[in-house]
Amino acid sequence: MKTGYRLFSLFCWACALLPVAGVFGLVVFLLKQGWGGLGLELFFGDTPPLDAIFRFAPVWDGIWPACFGTLAVTGLAALTAIPLGLFCGIYLNEFPRGRLSGILDFCVNLLAGMPSIIMGLFGFALILFLRHTLVPDAGTGLLLSGFCMGLLVLPYMIKSTQASLGGLPEDLRLMGTGLGFSKSQTIRHILLPSAGRGIMSGVVLSIGRAAEDTAVIMLTGAVANAGLPRGLFDNYEALPFFIYTVAAEYQSPEELQHGFGAALVLLTMTMGLFLAAHGLHHAMEKRWKRG
């Protein structure tokens, strides 16, 4: 019996350490392959950095426009997914369930299993529909990519909000009733702060998914050498698309090293977004405790 328990514990430890080992191995591999390519030249090419940042000169051989495009798409996706996911998750968990809730829950589960290439095709088909009906000049661009990416990561926010609120003890809801709070006041002042950690985990997952996806942006606005977008309706560059094109079309070891360097930048950028989300949650939690 003890031997079986020890083997089971060892297996659990091995499974727990496997993701850590995988991430560590990936980071070491990327550092080994791409460290030599890091530098201002990777970001700005031959263009002076200040001229590139303030649009005084275009960047042709650097990844600065791709970094900007990735952050812009991620921000637009977050603006789409976070509010919709939060309110939809609250509705599914806190309000009486009926036929509409069942249909909505089914649609969320269906959307969660949607391949990203299908979402990209949806965005492309939407542009074709608009061209033949309401907006003849409609085209792919930053806004379309952000909207489609927001729909793609929306289930992460809905499910994390629903699960976080559903895991709270019933005493918290009774506390709000005892204090004379209305339903909406109980949700706002008691339930949401208590479920904040779980909800922020959904934000983190959504941000990471939006920053790394390639299939959606390939069909909705990402273009090689597009430069910095001047508006929401312009085409743009993105790091995942840059890495994909370099891996498929590189013609020298230097170009491949630039691809590995861009992968390191994308990994660092995603980690920074994760840390920013955790910092935001920590600040909100401290503010709630003081209040």
Q: What would the pLDDT profile of 251-273 be if each residue is shown by its tens digit?
A: 888 888 888 999 999 988 888 87
- Give the separation between CA 243 and CA 261, rounded to whole angstroms: 9
Of 143, 168, 158, 172, nearest to 232 by C-alpha is 143
Q: What would the pLDDT profile of 155-191 be if each residue is shown by its tens digit?
A: 989 999 998 888 888 888 888 778 778 888 888 888 8
Neighbours of 102 (CB within 10 A): 11
The mean per-residue pLDDT over the stretch 91-109 comes to 83
* Token couple for 155: 């289930």
Q: Which residues contact 84 (CB under 8 A, 6 or more apart)?
A: 150, 154, 157
- Give the separation between CA 92 and CA 164, rounded to whole angstroms: 12
Domain 40-290: give its CATH architecture. Orthogonal Bundle (1.10)
* Token couple for 162: 């629903």
Q: Give me the sign of the Cα torsion angle 260, 262, 263, 269.
A: positive
- Give the separation between CA 116 and CA 144, rounded to whole angstroms: 14
Q: Which residues of 221-234 are buried (b: 16+ CB within 10 A; e: fewer)?
A: bbbeebbbbeeeeb
Q: What is residue 129's three-state secondary structure? A: helix
Neighbours of 235 (CB within 10 A): 19
Q: Give the domain ranges of the chain.
A: 1-37, 40-290
Per the model's pLDDT, the better-predicted residue between 96 and 261 turns out to be: 261
- pTM surpassing 0.85? yes
**What DSSP string runs through 67-106?**
HHHHHHHHHHHHHHHHHHHHHHHHHHHHS---HHHHHHHH
- Give the separation between CA 80 and CA 112, rounded to whole angstroms: 16
- Give the separation between CA 162 and CA 157, rounded to whole angstroms: 8
Q: What would the pLDDT profile of 112-128 be if each residue is shown by its tens digit?
A: 888 889 999 999 999 98
With a cut of 80, say whether residue 98 has pLDDT above it.
no
Q: Residue 150 — very low, low, confident or very high, per pLDDT cuts 50/70/90?
A: very high
- Give the separation between CA 255 and CA 246, rounded to whole angstroms: 7
Give alpha helix (H) positions in the chain. 2-34, 40-44, 49-53, 64-94, 99-112, 116-132, 142-166, 170-178, 183-186, 192-194, 196-212, 215-220, 239-249, 253-290
- Give the separation between CA 142 and CA 226, rounded to whole angstroms: 12
The rounded percent of the chain whose pLDDT value lies above 70 is 97
- Give the separation between CA 34 and CA 43, rounded to whole angstroms: 13
